[in-house]
Amino acid sequence: MFYPSVLRLGQGLLLALALCSCGGGGGGDGGAGGSVCQSSSVASVSTSVAGSNVLPISVNAGPSNLVNRLYASVTVCVPGYTDSSHCRTVDNVLVDTGSTGLRLLSSALSSLPLTGSSPTLLNCQRFLDGSFAWGSVVQADITLGSEVASNTPMQIIADPSYTSLASDCSSSGDAITTVSSLGANGILGVSMRAQDCGSNCQSNANNGYYYQCNSVSSCSTANPSTAIISKQLTNPVTRFAADNNGLEVVLPAVSCGGAAAMNGSLVFGVGTQANNQPTGRTLLQTQSGGSGYVNAAVSAASLGYSANMAQAFLDTGSNGIFFSTAAAAPMPSCYSQGFFCPSALTNFSATLSAINGASSSVNFAVDNANTLFNSSSYALPTLGGPVGSLQQFDWGLPFFYGRSVFIGFDGKPAGAFGTGPYYAL
Amino acid sequence: MRSHPRSRPFPLPSAHAAKALALLGLLALPALWLPAPAHATLGQAALISSGTVVVAQTGQAVTVSPGTPSHASAVQLRATAPAAQSALYRVSNTQLSNETVVSEFLSPSGVVFAVSWRGPVLPDLGSLLGTYFDSFHHAASASRTQRNIGTPLGVQAQDFVLQSSGRMGAFAGYAYVPSLVPAGVDILHVLP
């Protein structure tokens, strides 16, 4: 979100108290009736998990003044090297549980000599707005905190050596080539899926993800290509020597008015260390090979609204709570239907349920986006917006505030607790 | 993403569901495999002859039961074929080689008044939206200054509506031209 600075002056000091369930800490949700919370902004909130399997994560203004974006710092090295001339540490990388694989802008890598297949494999990541990230697939040692994914495929977005675009990648919108267009230096995709594409890309060249240069010596044309699993973009956490069966997103609670900065922890592994035990958590199983969907039954007493969405997912890469109220009680929207702008804070309750029969109750609230954007906060727990689908419920980053959420990787067991893919709350 | 619900039945407007279902039941003809042309474009005449009626391939399951409108599972089709028809509009489903299914909604005169998509890859919106692409592109660019590029997009321009949602590996969306929607069709009940 771009904030015209004039709108920020004197904002964030609203005195009204509001009922709100803004995430409750420790996996709770503040109680069924919602908890009273301040609508004024605070400077920062923090929580931290100690351990060698932890990557610090934060929500702040980042490079582009966008709200509700979770960032981390990532180090990539030419495989086998650890010296500074063969490594780069890149900050402001978006932590995204909705995609798979590390993607870094070439501008953040300052000519680090990373290489991949020969001829070079290229990757197209398409976004919902038609924009796309195009670039070479290279091998790198990826360090997250103190854990290393050795010789792991990643993408260099806007690699200047590979400017020949595949038309079916570029025909829906704009190339993401800069920090300002991405709002980050890259994307750390740590979803429950190990690869960005999977088996279809092994056998089908027209897969829409992978392309290959027309020759070893040049790349005047990028042709559709198969890509074997081991060459596809891979969730680097799955490549760790240990703590590789899942992760836990731990973020602090924040009041309705939000915070200018938030600090938390990305803990690797499920049940592998003293600091990542899932004991007592509710495991919400999702379909293996699927899209990470659970069911969400959602209601708002004040609106007389209730609905059921079969395609609900938890995604740190979405910057709000996105769902449709159109079928029952349309919420006012603003910013060209980008966000909800209700006249007052609106409380919702939801039940997430999964194919293993487990369920978990969640309270959340949605406030007026105009009000939120005019505050000095970048972590905004009550930001929501509409989607066109009546089936989808995109639980973006606000869902994670005040919780610790386990994400179990597809096919990876966590002892007796269960086998991924799952969420555990 | 192999198992996302591509085969979810198309919701048909309830008032016309019975008619559509009757057609499905009566016209389960052997498939007429057409060449796979580029699909048609929003707001333009369909490439498929409006006289062509193909509902289901022999041997494909067509589940028809009251209250649960359904049609031949588009996921089984590899060529362009009109898959469902009512008196008010027709639906033509195409599964692209990347496994994404594109549906085109045709008026009785054969004009594409809506399109939808569902699958692992966002389809080529340039060709799918035609002259409406500029409206989409403008809105997408504006949206990028407000929302993450990975979050859903809604466009409500003059005589053009688009919704794009989903996540990596599971895209879904639709677009339509309100002025081209045939009289009597409730567009929000037609679209998935």
Give the whole-angstrom CA distance, residue A248 versus residue A256: 24
d(CA A219, CA A223): 10
At position A56, the amino acid (one-letter code) is P
Predicted pLDDT of residue A390: 85
Q: Does B4 contact A at CB distance below 8 Å?
A: yes
Same domain for A44 and A58, yes or no, is: no
Shortest distance between the Cα of B186 and any Cα of chain A, in A, equals 13
The CATH number given to whatever domain includes residue A113 is 2.40.70
Please report the pLDDT score of residue B14 as a whole number: 33
Same domain, A147 and A280: no
- Say whether both A152 and A200 belong to one domain: yes
Query: How many beta carbons lie within 10 A of that of residue A296, not counting itself?
Result: 22
> Does the distance separating the beta carbons of A326 and B154 come in below 8 Å?
no
Task: Please indicate, yes or no, if residue A360 is contained in any of the structural domains.
Answer: yes
Report ipTM (2 d.p.): 0.84
A364 touches chain B (CB under 8 A): no
Let me know if residue B38 belongs to a domain.
yes
Looking at the fold, whether A362 and A284 belong to one and the same domain comes out as: yes
Interface of B with A in 159-178 (CB under 8 A): 162-174
pLDDT of residue B28: 31
**What is the pairing mode between strands A294-300 and A346-353?**
antiparallel
| A264 and A321 both lie in a single domain | yes
Q: Is residue A4 part of a domain?
A: no
Tell which phi-psi region holds residue A346, choosing left (phi > 0), alpha (psi between -120 and 50) or beta. beta
Residue A16 and residue A91 in one domain: no
Tens digits of per-residue pLDDT, A291-345? 999 999 999 999 999 999 999 999 999 999 999 988 778 899 888 778 999 999 9
Q: Is the pLDDT of residue A77 over 50?
A: yes
By residue range, what is the domain housing residue A125? 54-239
Best A172, A196, A197, A309 member to test B by mutation, with max B CBs in 10 Å, is A172
Print the SS3 string covering A329-367.
Answer: CCCCEECCCCEECCCCCEEEEEEEECCCCCEEEEEEEEC
Q: Does B158 reach chain A within 8 Å, measured CB to CB?
A: no
Mean pLDDT of B52-73: 28
A98 touches chain B (CB under 8 A): yes
Which pair of tokens denotes residue A309? 């969405």
pLDDT of A422 above 90: yes
Cβ of residue B115 closer than 8 Å to a chain A Cβ: no
Is A163 in the same domain as A296? no
Q: What residues in A contact B124, CB-CB < 8 Å? A: 168, 171-172
Residue B166: per-residue pLDDT: 85
Residue A333, domain member (yes or no): yes
If contacts are CB pairs under 8 Å, which of residues 9-68 in chain B contact chain A?
none
What's the rounded Cα separation, in Å, for the pair A366 and A380? 10
Q: What is the maximal distance between C-alpha atoms in chain A?
A: 65
Q: Which of A1, A127, A197 sits opposite B149 (nearest CB)?
A: A127
Find the closest chain A residue to B4 by CA distance: A290
Nearest to A95 by CA among A180, A191, A209, A159: A191
What pLDDT is stored for residue A1 in this prediction?
Answer: 28
How confident is the model at residue B145, as a pLDDT? 67
- Residue B140 at interface with chain A, using a CB cutoff of 8 Å: yes
Query: Does residue A84 form part of some domain?
Result: yes
Judge whether residue A48 has pLDDT over 90: yes
Q: Does the structure show a pLDDT above 70 at A157?
A: yes
**Is B149 close to A193, i.e. CB distance below 8 A?**
no
B1 domain residue, yes or no:
no
Identify whether residues A374 and A306 lie together within a single domain. yes
Q: What DSSP state is assigned to residue B30?
A: P
The reported pLDDT for the residue numbered B29 is 32
Look at residues A220, A239, A258 and tell me which one is the last residue of a structural domain.
A239
Confidence band of B23 (pLDDT split at 50, 70, 90): very low
User: Bridge partners of A122?
Assistant: A136, A211
Assess if residue B6 is contained within a domain: no
A180 touches chain B (CB under 8 A): no
Tens-digit pLDDT profile for residues A131-140: 999 999 999 9
* DSSP designation for B71: -
Q: HSE-up of A127 (CA within 13 Å, CB side)?
A: 27
pLDDT at A216: 86
* Beta carbons of B100 and B74 less than 8 angstroms apart: no
Query: Is residue A142 pLDDT above 50, yes or no?
Result: yes
pLDDT at A12 over 90: no
- Bridge-based pairing of strands A333-334 and B160-167 is unpaired
Q: Work out the burial of residue A317: count CB atoms within 10 Å of its CB; fewer than 13 is exposed, 13-18 middle, 19 or more buried.
A: buried
pLDDT in tens, B65-87: 222 222 333 222 333 444 455 57
Helix, strand or coil for residue A185? coil
pLDDT in tens, B169-190: 899 999 999 999 998 888 878 8
pLDDT in tens, A220-264: 899 999 999 999 999 999 999 999 999 999 999 999 999 999 999
Q: What's the structural domain count of chain A?
A: 2
Separation between Cα atoms, residue A38 and residue A63, nearest integer Å: 28
For the cut 60, the answer to whether the pLDDT of residue A368 exceeds it is yes
Give the one of B137, B154, B169 whose C-beta lies nearest to A337's C-beta: B154
Question: How far A354 CA sits from the closest chain B CA (Å)?
Answer: 15
Answer whether the bond into residue A113 is a cis peptide, omega within 30°.
no
Chain B's closest residue to A322, CA to CA, is B152
Interface of A with B in 50-79 (CB under 8 A): 66, 68-69
| pLDDT score of B62 | 28
The percent of residues above 90 in pLDDT, for chain A, comes to 80
Q: How confident is the model at residue B148 (pLDDT cuts 50, 70, 90)?
A: low
| Residues 6 or more apart in contact with residue A390 via CB below 8 angstroms | A307, A309, A324, A326, A327
Q: Are strands A87-96 and A186-190 parallel, antiparallel or unpaired?
A: parallel
Q: Which of A199, A289, A318 sits opposite B150 (nearest CB)?
A: A318
Q: Which of A212-216, A396-400, B150-154 has the highest mean pLDDT?
A: A396-400
The reply to whether A85 and A27 lie within a common domain is no
pLDDT score of A195 more than 80? yes
Question: Does residue A5 lie within any of the structural domains?
Answer: no
Residues A387, A403 within the same domain: yes
Find the helix or strand (DSSP H, E) in which A170 lies.
Answer: helix A167-170
Q: For residue A211, is pLDDT > 60? A: yes
The total number of structural domains in chain B stands at 1
In a domain, B8, yes or no: no
Per-residue pLDDT tens over the stretch B92-127? 899 999 999 999 999 988 899 999 999 999 999 999
Residue A122 is assigned to a structural domain of this protein: yes
Is the CB of A319 less than 8 angstroms away from the CB of B147?
A: yes
Rounded mean pLDDT, A64-91 = 96
Chain B residues whose CB is inside 8 A of the A336 CB are 139, 142-143, 154-156
pTM of the model: 0.83
Residue B47 is assigned to a structural domain of this protein: yes
Does the structure show a pLDDT above 80 at A30? Answer: no
Q: In terms of domains, do A153 and A27 share one?
A: no
Q: What is the sign of the dihedral through the CA atoms of A184, A186, A188 and A191?
A: positive
Query: Where does a domain end: A239, A256, A277?
Result: A239
* Structure confidence at residue B169 (pLDDT): 86
In a domain, B116, yes or no: yes
Give me chain A's average pLDDT, please: 89
Instruction: Name the residue facing B165 among A193, A206, A389 (closest C-beta).
Output: A389
DSSP assigned state of B56? -
Q: What is the mean pLDDT of residues A365-386?
A: 94
| Last-in-domain residue among A201, A221, A239 | A239
Among residues B174, B134, B186, the alpha carbon closest in space to that of B158 is found at B134
Task: Flag whether B124 is in a domain.
Answer: yes
Yes or no, beta carbons of A168 and B155 under 8 Å apart? no
CB A118 within 8 A of CB A137: no
End-to-end CA distance of chain A: 29
What's the rounded Cα separation, in Å, for the pair A9 and B192? 44
Instruction: State the amino acid at position A54 in one-letter form.
Output: V
Q: Is residue A2 part of a domain?
A: no
Dist. CA A264–CA A47, nearest whole Å: 5
A172, A203: one domain: yes
In angstroms, what separates the C-alpha of B65 from chain A's closest C-alpha?
21
- Is position B140 within any domain? yes
Distance from CA of B105 to the nearest CA of A (A): 17
Concatenating the DSSP letter of every residue in B63-116 gives: --BTTB---S-GGG--S-EEEEE-SS-EEEEEE-TTS-EEEEEE-TTSBEEEEE
Q: Per this entry, what is the length of chain A?
A: 425
Q: Hey, is the C-beta of B152 within 8 angstroms of any chain A C-beta?
A: yes
* Three-state DSSP state, B90: strand
pLDDT at A327: 77
Residue by residue, DSSP assigns B172-189 as EEEEE-GGGSPTT--HHH
3 state DSSP class of A183: coil
